[in-house]
Amino acid sequence: MPPPSRRAAVPLHSRHAPTMDDVAREAGVSRALVSLVMRERPNVSDERRRRVLDAASRLGYRPNAMARSLASRRTKTIGVILDDLRNPFFAEIAGGVEELASEAGYQLLLAAGGRSSRRERAAVGALLEHRVSGLILVSPRMPAGDIAAAASEAPLVMVGRGLRSVDVDIVLINEAHGTGLVLDHLIELGHERIAHVDGGSGAGGPQRRSAYLRGMRTHRLGRHSLVIPGDFTEEAGVKAAEELLARRELPTAIFAANDMVAAGLLGGFDRAGIDVPGDVSIVGYDNTSIAHLAHVSLTTVDQPRTEMGRLALELLLDRIDNRRPNELRLIEPSLVIRSTTAPPRVIAAPSVVAIA
């Protein structure tokens, strides 16, 4: 074996980045050996591995991740598609994914679906072209057929939406339990006229709406049921506030589809001079950073977003390494009581004056 070359290392301002051939010349070994070391293959002696790594360090050589992926048909990247970047719920789930990805040596490629199935399909296609090791879809809106097609090309985990007969793992919140916590809390406070501003067709929206209607019937309050069509946005909350204010009588409490909707309701009622919780109580869903703000202090259902993100990636990494039956992980939510709920205001009966 010839001794390693003693030529000067390639300076940082060199016109080209150091290549595998440069490392081979610097270490005095073959290019094939450098390739074995860079791919972390076991059949290389410790002495020669150290020589190659030392040479690579001196030259500032960085292995080309895309070239390695073309050879192995697999990268150390995970594609994550979030439904709506304006909603902190999705950012907080992505934070949980990133936290574990960093520990496991994976990188994330993030994309936004923009609450559009068409944009989600385009994002999935782009991520698959980058040869991601797997996909995590958070509250996707794509049809089941498109999700099944994506799952046939890469391991896939979904968060926030369930699908039957599709080869994916799923992380779901127990929507019936979460909605039940809201109704139990409001009814214990004395509310009967409880309205619901729903999340439309977005993931979780139909389930919360159905659980609300079922729960109102269970509590013998079905005659007071009122669903205001909406979406998982602040704008939907503002529009719902306007619609409710146009009615002859406000409900005494409102269950909002998520914290964004609740924020829109709070803003709309504040501009109209409606006191929360004096005139109407409001409960959100998600327990995002919005709910924690001092001037909001929102009573809300807590979905453990970081835990959900970590769990999704745990399932995905296991799915990448092992063929196994699909898994469904159902997470139990909890209720966080803050300042937007209180007993309904009691309207005093008019006094009766006796006439002699």
pLDDT of residue 6: 42
Q: Which helix (H) or strand (E) holds 211?
A: helix 205-218
Superfamily of domain 75-173+306-332: Response regulator (3.40.50.2300)
- The domain ranges of the chain are 20-63, 75-173+306-332, 175-303
pTM above 0.75, yes or no: no
Give the pLDDT mean for 175-191: 96
Does residue 164 register a pLDDT over 60?
A: yes
Tokens for 114, please give them.
């923009």
Assess whether the region 75-173+306-332 and the region 175-303 belong to the same CATH fold.
yes
* pLDDT band at residue 19 using 50, 70 and 90 as cut-offs: confident
Return the CATH class of domain 175-303: alpha beta
Write out pLDDT tens, residues 106-153. Answer: 889 998 887 788 898 888 988 888 889 899 999 888 888 889 888 888
pLDDT of residue 72: 47
Does residue 157 register a pLDDT over 90?
A: yes
Stretch among 70-74, 103-107, 249-253 having the lowest mean pLDDT: 70-74
Give the pLDDT mean for 190-201: 94
**What 8-state DSSP symbol labels residue 294?**
T
Give the pLDDT mean for 308-323: 88
Does residue 321 register a pLDDT over 60?
A: yes
Stretch among 112-116, 188-192, 228-232, 281-285 having the lowest mean pLDDT: 112-116
Average pLDDT value for the chain: 85
For domain 20-63, say whether CATH 1.10.260.40 is its number.
yes
Q: How many CB atoms lie within 10 A of CB 114?
A: 17
Give the pLDDT mean for 9-29: 69
Please, which residues have CB within 8 angstroms of residue 97's CB and are 6 or more apart in sequence?
Answer: 78, 80, 108, 136, 309, 310, 312, 313
**Structural contact between residues 135 and 127, judged by C-beta atoms closer than 8 angstroms:** yes
Is the backbone peptide bond immediately before 277 cis, with ω within 30 degrees of 0? Answer: yes
pLDDT of residue 343: 96
Give the pLDDT mean for 293-309: 93
Does residue 260 register a pLDDT over 90?
A: yes
Does residue 263 register a pLDDT over 50?
A: yes
Longest dimension (CA), the chain: 124
